[in-house]
Amino acid sequence: MSQMDKFNNKYRIASTRLQHWDYGWNAAYFVTICTKNRICWFGNVADGRMVLSEIGEIAQKCWIEIVEHFPFVKLDAFIVMPNHVHGIIIIDKIDDERNDGQNVETQYFASPHMVSQMTPHMTPTELNKPQNQFGPQSKNLASIIRGFKIGVTKNARIIQPDFAWQSRFHDHIIRDEQSYHTISKYIINNPLKWKEDTFHQMNQKKS
């Protein structure tokens, strides 16, 4: 995990005065993005390894290219699975507007206190409404995922016009290093456990 070495000892305690999490803030986010109806457009798993289809290769390429469109983003572990993508996205802005312009070290892990103040079951959409005062909506997690999905869709539909994403995505704010390692391991080992995967089982039930 050479990427992770850069992140150690670079935490900052978030303000206890803030009641809701802003998805434009610096942090590490675990995201899962699914295809519509869990259709396996991206390939298949064989012998515990992901074999990408042509559309799967497009998804992988677009994921890697996220950093070209969003320079404040760092990418960590990710995997393109048959009908979904798992990945860790790190928002790393020089100033995410929580430090009043002061030069402080980047926070990659959300403070448990900050996360505990979030309203249960709030979605990224609900947390990033226009009244959000902490920066442009073009620089938050939702915009990053939207850009990725648009890029994949545009190119995938040249091959398969019916390709589509599920409208929403799942996210989890990574709180600490232990959680980071657990999630990274889960992502990397996803192909090995594909038959046990919830997304695989849901797809089988629809077949």
Predicted local confidence at residue 132, as pLDDT: 36
Predicted local confidence at residue 35, as pLDDT: 97
**Residue at 19 is within a domain:** yes
> Which structural domain, as residue segments, surrounds residue 179?
2-115+127-206
d(CA 145, CA 66): 9
d(CA 103, CA 43): 45
Predicted local confidence at residue 120, as pLDDT: 32
Q: What is the CATH number of the domain that holds 47?
A: 3.30.70.1290
> How far, CA to CA in Å, does 37 sit from each of 59, 71, 193, 199?
17, 32, 21, 10
Torsion, Cα of 115, 120, 126, 127 (10° steps):
-10
Look up residue 136 and give its two tokens.
């442009």
On whether the CB atoms of residues 24 and 135 are closer than 8 A, the answer is yes
The structural domain count of the chain equals 1
Closest by CA position to 155, among listed 56, 35, 83: 56
Q: Report residue 188: phi and psi, to 5°.
A: -65, -35
Predicted local confidence at residue 177, as pLDDT: 86
> How far, CA to CA in Å, does 30 sit from each of 54, 78, 102, 169?
25, 9, 28, 11
**Residue at 122 is within a domain:** no
**Residue at 175 is within a domain:** yes
Residues of the chain with pLDDT under 50: 1-19, 100-107, 111-136, 205, 207
**Residue at 54 is within a domain:** yes
Closest by CA position to 42, among listed 164, 182, 168, 192: 164
